[in-house]
Amino acid sequence: MKKVIFTLLAIVAFAASASAQNALGARINVDYDANLDLGAELSYQHGLSDKNRLELDFGWLGHKHYSEFSATGIYQWTFNIVGNFGWFIGVGGNIGIWSSSNYTDVTLSVCGQGGIEYKFDAVPLKLSLDYRPMAYLFFPEDHYGDANRIHFGALAFGVRYCF
């Protein structure tokens, strides 16, 4: 019975992925809310239909006083501008592990994301530029003493292989 259920789930997953575009790559971001620190994320986009997708990102942001490892999930709506050039907007959540020299804690936030993207015809490659602000539901107090704050986001450049 377990084999039958697993086989059915595999067929459904394959059928869902075959009907929409998937992409795997990286997002490099500049967190200008934190002194222009650089971060990187492994990024996966799973197409749900021609008009929406799920983006899952696993990343790291570093600063001389702290670092953060995080996982982000965002539901996105996609729109065509002209040809292979389009834009997208989405909403989701983020959970992270924030570490400084004094302690380690967990962060939790809701986030939005919007951007533009271009998919090449000749090669299975997609480039994007996006912005992702966050509203922290839980954030450890930093050296300024502000907790549960709005993060005005990061600008990111993405490169993804489409399949």
Q: What is the pLDDT of residues 45-73, one digit of tens each?
A: 999 999 999 999 999 987 777 788 999 99
User: What residues are paired with 138 via a beta bridge?
Assistant: 108
Contact 63, 34 (CB under 8 A): yes
Please check the confidence at residue 121 and state whether its pLDDT lies above 90: yes
123 φ/ψ angles, rounded to the nearest 5 degrees: -130, 150
pLDDT band for position 17 (cuts 50, 70, 90): very low
The answer to the question of residue 109 being in a domain is yes
Give how many domains the chain has, as a whole number.
1
The answer to the question of residue 119 being in a domain is yes
The answer to the question of residue 5 being in a domain is no
Please check the confidence at residue 9 and state whether its pLDDT lies above 50: no
Please check the confidence at residue 85 and state whether its pLDDT lies above 60: yes
The answer to the question of residue 11 being in a domain is no
- The answer to whether the Cα torsion of 128, 133, 139, 141 is positive or negative is positive
Domain with 70 in it: 21-162
What's the pLDDT at 62?
79
Q: How big is the chain, counted in residues?
A: 163
Residue 57's domain is classified under what CATH number? 2.40.160.20
Most confident of 90-94, 100-104, 148-152: 90-94
